[in-house]
Structure 1
Amino acid sequence: MSVAAHARPRPAPSPGPQRPRLRAATVGRYVALVVGATVMVLPFVYMLSTSFKSQTYVLTIPPQFVPHPATVANYTTAWGSHDFGRYFVNSLIVAFFTTVLSLLLSSMMAYGFARFGFRGKEVLYRLLLLGLMIPAMMLIIPQFVLAKYLGLLDSLAGLVVFYVAGSLPLNTFLLRGFFAAIPVELEQAMQVDGAGPWTRYRRLILPLAKPALATATIFTFLASWDEFAWSLTIISTPSKQTLPLAISLFHGQNSTLWGLVFAASMIAVLPVIAVFLIFQRHFVQGLTSGAVKG
């Protein structure tokens, strides 16, 4: 009898304790995610709830997450007092122009670093990335001197110029990595048809880079919308103040009216949430592409 006749199929190895361990690890991860999400969301939920409470019910113990009775008086009072609408519009203007200019300049710089070779390219790129390593507070005095020399003190233009400059290193880093991942053959095909660098950048690179552009948009808008230190340094005219400054002053003048303060904070959060919801579909893809490649 041949050896093959005596050969029998071996039984599959028993999973043993591996499956329960995998299930326990999965459950542990979900529990950790739920706990982390709860810790992150709970303060926001409490702020939202308090913004609909009258002052009498703000500091009740235990905390009341569902306001009863609910009121919108805090929102109407916050929006109508202390010229709050003007501060809101100022922040929208600054954040909008900062985002547009930063994306335009950083995308052109990233395209140059990703596709063209020139002398000192890597040195310039690394010098640009040094901006990510310098704390913003260390630049307050040099920026103030420069703004005074350029006549940008006490102006919204002074905010936009320095916000754009501060956002260029990160945006260029993200966009360069994404541009480098786009196949060169696509550009070569357009080049054969006579398309120049500007045409390739505008008609090919930018449409394909929507995820990276969405990521840069979220970061830039959020940074310029929430910035406090630089606006506090150069803005002295009340009518030119932005929303973070207005809320800080508003909080100081109404330190015990927490419902009013939280209502003002919720109004300030709404544009940030709107921008994130619009661009969140591309956010993760653009962030990981820019961080891993390039």
Structure 2
Amino acid sequence: MSSLWKKIWMYALLILGAVISIYPLIYMLMTALKPMTLLFEFPPKFLPSEMTFNNFRDAWVSQNFAQYLFNSIMVTLVSFAFIFLFSSMLAFAYSRFEFRGKKLSFAILMGGLVIPSLTLLIPQFILIRQLGMFDSRWGLIVVYAAGAIPFTTFLLKGFFDSISRDIDESVEMEGGNAWTLFASIIIPLSKPAFVPATIFNALTVWEEFPWALTIINDPAKRTLPIALANFQGQYTTQWGIVFAGSLIAILPIILLFLLLQRYFIAGITAGAIKG
């Protein structure tokens, strides 16, 4: 009987946690479906008595929203390409090779995980301006990729370490080299590790606001967080449009997670298990 009550409590807590987690999204959707005249009705109603999709239409056609969406997609994809390339090679080197200064260099790299990103805003601004990347998408991509490399390297190295070294010997006996091992064996076997890295990095780049606001002046090069901020006026804010735009903005991340969710937990835990 005690086992039954434990299961009941467990499922009750899981359901409660799910409701708490999903409630903000449902509230955003209900607000986005309300006409402007019903946003501040009293007493407030969770379910709108009258629904409209005008807020989604207005969000899409105003503030150059489609261009901002394209910019966010491009910046996220290119950033992740650089993150994947450099982090995977770094993780492979730290996992499979012994060289002078290995522990020290890895400790320095991991030190990047404990530095708050906002404290780097000014030196990053000076560096990007000196590199001629001010007010360009490359100024976003370079900083986003550099900021994500330490965490991604740490995650991938843990997974690479769990792959048996017997595979290395087999590749060597077949006449392969380090590149063969990396490109043909390690990377294909490590697909589960790239799933959490993809989700975390995509979410970080997608929602980043301070650096995008600092480095980009040209409205045609801005990303989605800037578009959402522009929906909020100094004196009045059309909350229906704000929530509609927010839902459009988070839809790609939700779809990405739904597509990769079955690999997510496996990828998170795999690196902690040694082969």
Contact 1:174 1:291 in 2 (8 A): no
Alignment match, 2:41:
60
How many pairs does the alignment contain?
Answer: 275
2:65 maps to 1:84: yes
Q: CA 1:208 to 1:135, structure 2 compared with 1: closer, same or farther past 3 Å? A: same
For residue 252 of structure 1, give the secondary structure of its aligned residue in structure 2.
Answer: coil
Compute the TM-score of the two structures, normalised by the length of structure 1: 0.89
Contact 1:49 1:67 in 2 (8 A): yes
2:12 maps to 1:31: yes
For residue 176 of structure 2, give the secondary structure of its aligned residue in structure 1.
Answer: coil
Q: State how far apart, in whole Å, the 2-side matches of 1:159 and 1:275 are.
A: 22
The alpha-carbon deviation at position 183 of structure 1 amounts to: 1.0
The alpha-carbon deviation at position 289 of structure 1 amounts to: 2.4
The alpha-carbon deviation at position 28 of structure 1 amounts to: 2.3
Alignment match, 1:119:
100
Alignment match, 1:132:
113
Compute the TM-score of the two structures, normalised by the length of structure 2: 0.94
Q: 1:261 aligns with which of 228, 242, 251?
A: 242
2:76 maps to 1:95: yes
2:150 maps to 1:169: yes
Alignment match, 1:7:
none
Contact 2:207 2:225 in 1 (8 A): yes
Q: State how far apart, in whole Å, the 2-side matches of 1:65 and 1:186 are.
A: 58
Contact 2:75 2:141 in 1 (8 A): yes
Q: State how far apart, in whole Å, the 2-side matches of 1:125 and 1:199 are.
A: 24
* Residues 193-250 of structure 1 deviation map (CA, whole Å, 9 limit, x = unaligned): 1111112111111111011011111111110000001111111111111110111011
2:21 maps to 1:40: yes
* Residues 173-210 of structure 1 deviation map (CA, whole Å, 9 limit, x = unaligned): 00000001011112221221111111211111111101
Q: State how far apart, in whole Å, the 1-side matches of 2:156 and 2:235 are.
A: 43
The alpha-carbon deviation at position 61 of structure 1 amounts to: 4.5
Q: Which amino acid aligns with 1:172?
A: T
Q: CA 1:255 to 1:185, structure 2 compared with 1: closer, same or farther past 3 Å? A: farther
* Sequence identity (%): 44
Alignment match, 1:231:
212
Greater Rg by CA: 1
Q: Which amino acid aligns with 1:112?
A: A
For residue 248 of structure 1, give the secondary structure of its aligned residue in structure 2.
Answer: helix
Alignment match, 1:11:
none
Aligned 1:193-232 pairs, distance under 5 A: 193-232=174-213
What are structure 1's unaligned runs of at least 5 residues?
Answer: 1-18
Q: CA 1:26 to 1:183, structure 2 compared with 1: closer, same or farther past 3 Å? A: same
The alpha-carbon deviation at position 49 of structure 1 amounts to: 1.5
Contact 2:228 2:246 in 1 (8 A): yes
Alignment match, 1:104:
85
What are structure 2's unaligned runs of at least 5 residues?
Answer: none
Query: What RMSD, in angstroms, separates the aligned Cα atoms of the two structures?
Result: 1.8
Contact 2:232 2:242 in 1 (8 A): yes
The alpha-carbon deviation at position 62 of structure 1 amounts to: 5.0
Alignment match, 1:181:
162
2:56 maps to 1:69: no
Contact 1:173 1:290 in 2 (8 A): no
Contact 1:74 1:259 in 2 (8 A): yes
Contact 2:162 2:273 in 1 (8 A): no
Q: State how far apart, in whole Å, the 1-side matches of 2:167 and 2:274 are.
A: 19
Alignment match, 1:284:
265
* Residues 45-94 of structure 1 deviation map (CA, whole Å, 9 limit, x = unaligned): 01012111111222334544443322211111111112111111111110
Contact 1:254 1:261 in 2 (8 A): no
Q: CA 1:199 to 1:52, structure 2 compared with 1: closer, same or farther past 3 Å? A: same
For residue 59 of structure 1, give the secondary structure of its aligned residue in structure 2.
Answer: coil
Alignment match, 2:130:
149
2:223 maps to 1:248: no
